[in-house]
């Protein structure tokens, strides 16, 4: 699967492809069918890319069914 913005692979090392897809759906809407990679998602959300794994961990701890 590739990024809807830059067309790179969704998985880039900082988070898995599964977590990237789940994070896209959690933050941008469950109906999404096209996803951002970690770089583009961080830019879109105006956060540092290094914050994304913390968001994933937080949502997993909260028991979010997407993760």
- pLDDT of res. 51: 96
**Element (DSSP H or E) covering residue 40:** helix 38-45
- pLDDT of res. 13: 83
- pLDDT of res. 50: 95
Q: How many domains does the chain divide into?
A: 1
Task: Show the tokens assigned to 46.
Answer: 């105006």
Quote the domain boundaries for residue 25: 1-67
Task: Please list the pLDDT of the chain residue by residue as tens digits (67 residues).
Answer: 899 999 999 987 889 999 999 999 999 999 999 999 999 999 999 999 999 999 999 999 999 999 9
pTM of the shown model: 0.89
**How many angstroms separate the CA atoms of 63 and 42, rounded?**
22
């Amino acid at each position: 699967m590739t990024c809807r913005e830059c067309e790179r692979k969704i998985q880039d090392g900082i988070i898995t492809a599964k977590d990237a897809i789940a994070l896209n759906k959690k933050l941008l809407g469950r109906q999404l069918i096209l996803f951002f990679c970690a770089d583009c998602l961080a830019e879109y959300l105006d956060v540092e890319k290094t914050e994304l794994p913390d968001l994933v961990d937080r949502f997993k701890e909260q028991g979010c069914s997407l993760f």
